[in-house]
Amino acid sequence: MLLSIIVPAYNEENLVCVLLEKLLELRFAPGIDREIIVVDDGSSDATASRIGEWISSRQDGGVRLIRHDRNQGKGAAVRTGMDASSGDLVIIQDADLEYDPEDIHRVIAPIVAGDALVVYGSRILREKELGRSGCCGWITGKHPHSYVLAYLGGVAITKFTNLLSGAALTDEPTCYKCFHRRALEDLRIEADDFAWEPEITMKVLTRGIRIVEVPISYHPRKLEQGKKINWMDGVKALLTVWRYR
């Protein structure tokens, strides 16, 4: 079984090679191989050159770099990565280390076991598992260092998705989305930006495919550290859920 790890990267020169090292350090069960596809989405910093130098310095291979000549958006980068992938399983890994690659083991497990075709890693389930909450306990499932508005936006998108699809998700906007190849048959991502996430979620759900969630850890960044998503992306996400209902 081949696992394709797709890494969309945009202006992550300081972190992307650290991430790639962590991905190569992962040890999977016998019978599971991996390929890592990094899509540099027209970075204006040294992201692409650092990845290229890092790949050239390695002996073990297994990492490919694809470059967009201009910035097109995360959805476009994911689409490029999916088109280039050949794995039985496909998972998305952000380049910014907000998500711990060790959790990939937990995310792929239900698919490897044959219990699911699609698995999402839920930050909310992990925070509830830890018994943590934000805003003096009024908001459960919120990481103590994440922005309140970002958290509430994610909750709104998730609740709206559930309302229109009948699903019972806790964390739709999560990075860790893993798909068996069968779930992606004839499925094409149209959105070039962050709206690719609710788009693919709704397309999967409207096909009658159940999305399983597992708890994952989360280390949120601040805007000054390079966090890129904003409130406009949240509005687009809600509109996308409605469009593909």
pTM of the model: 0.88
Does the structure show a pLDDT above 70 at 135? no
Burial of residue 113 (CB within 10 Å: 0-12, 13-18, 19+) is exposed
Percentage of the residues of the chain whose pLDDT score is greater than 70? 86
Question: Domain total for the chain?
Answer: 1
Burial of residue 131 (CB within 10 Å: 0-12, 13-18, 19+) is exposed
Give the C-alpha distances (Å, rounded to integers) separating 41 from 71, 123, 146: 5, 26, 25
- Overall average pLDDT of the 201-229 stretch: 79
Least confident window among 38-52, 136-150, 221-235? 136-150
Does the structure show a pLDDT above 80 at 119? yes
Does the structure show a pLDDT above 80 at 90? yes
Q: Which domain holds residue 106?
A: 2-243
pLDDT of residue 237: 85
Does the structure show a pLDDT above 90 at 133? no
Give the C-alpha distances (Å, rounded to integers) separating 241 from 86, 91, 125, 170: 28, 21, 22, 15
Report the CATH number that the domain containing residue 120 is assigned in CATH. Answer: 3.90.550.10
Residues with Cβ < 8 Å from 138, sequence gap 6 or more? none
pLDDT of residue 136: 41
Q: How far is CA 197 from the centre of its chain?
A: 8
Q: How confident is the model at residue 225 (pLDDT cuts 50, 70, 90)?
A: very low
Q: How confident is the model at residue 222 (pLDDT cuts 50, 70, 90)?
A: very low
Q: How confident is the model at residue 232 (pLDDT cuts 50, 70, 90)?
A: confident
